[in-house]
Amino acid sequence: MQLVGRDALMDRMIDRMASGMAALGRGEVAPTPPRGGFTRDSAGIGVIEWMPHHEPGKGMTLKTVGYTPANPLHHELPTILGTVTRFDDVTGRLVALADGVVPTAIRTGAMSAVASRLLARPDSATVGLIGAGAQSVTQLHALTRVFDVHRVLVSDIEPEHAATFARRVAFLGRDLEIELVTASTVAAESDIICTATTVGVGEGPVLPDTAMREHVHVNAVGADLPGKTELPLGLLTRSLVTYDHLAQSRVEGECQQLLEDAVGPALATFCADPGSAVAWRGRSTVFDSTGFAFEDHLALDLFLELAIEYGLGHTVEVEYHPVDSLDPYPPLVGADSVAGAPARSVVPATAA
């Protein structure tokens, strides 16, 4: 990141997400299955998930991710940990293994920027953040790349998270007015709102259903479990609700609160036809961002390209590729058979 630069990396990620989602909307991309996984008890509910995407003729990307809200407090680790792998489509061999923490944070912020650029008013200048954890940094960073943001309203139930937010976004180098406020103030005074929290199952919403700006656009990022939601039903029912992956959103996103006919077009549809989004910019809109494996596939493509451009990364032999593809055992140096003689082939008499 020091070589590429945060801004250049985010700009390229936004472009990659926008073009990839447009291709998806045009039907040029193979469908991505919903993620699978297990819930677990880790000082609260945690999740271990797997997220695959297959691009025929190229390869398969598989992200494994652990969601553990207790990590920052108990283990000094990020809430979200993960790895991303790429397998060649012809041979099935592993060709790349990468960290999933940084790409996930950046691509999630980039997706909010893509949705906001389509659906929010172009003159949006006030961003509200519900949740000041790690994801809030890339959410704001991405939005500042596509909007002239002047004012940032931050609300978090953890005072230490809110207190350090200004320091963590100081790299933006902008004259940003950052205010620590209540969730109600975020709701009432923001042009664009991002919710990214670890609210528990059944404990939402985190954004109050109060008077909001008529044109408000909301990026809902934190819902990732059945019964876990961040937005009030009233906001959803009076807004256009778009999504990244419908099957996931219906189970664990904000769309689980809605009847099927209350959900709008996919974000990919708007990306493929940006003009169709313009008419919605004067009313409230919601992007239900559950994050799916095609986004990770695109993000890994970008990171692999950067690794080649800047000569980064290491070649490591992880898989065993035997000299004889029919023999799973590696040769033993200085050893033959047990008796010290080579093994013999026995030809049945009937073969003669």
Known catalytic residues are 224
**Amino acid identity for residue 36 in this structure:** G
The alpha helices in 120-243, defined as continuous H runs, are 134-146, 159-168, 183-189, 233-237
Q: Per the omega criterion (within 30 degrees of 0), is the bond before 205 cis?
A: yes
CA 24, 25, 31, 33 dihedral sign is: positive
From CA 67, how far away is CA 78, in angstroms rounded? 9
DSSP string computed for 22-52: HHHHTT-SPPPPPPEEEEEESSSEEEEEEEE
125: enclosing H helix or E strand: none
Burial class (CB in 10 A: 0-12, 13-18, 19+), 323: exposed
Coil, helix or strand for 87? Answer: strand
Q: What is the dihedral of CA 287, 162, 76, 51, to 10 degrees?
A: 0
What is the separation, in whole angstroms, between the first and last Cα of the chain?
68
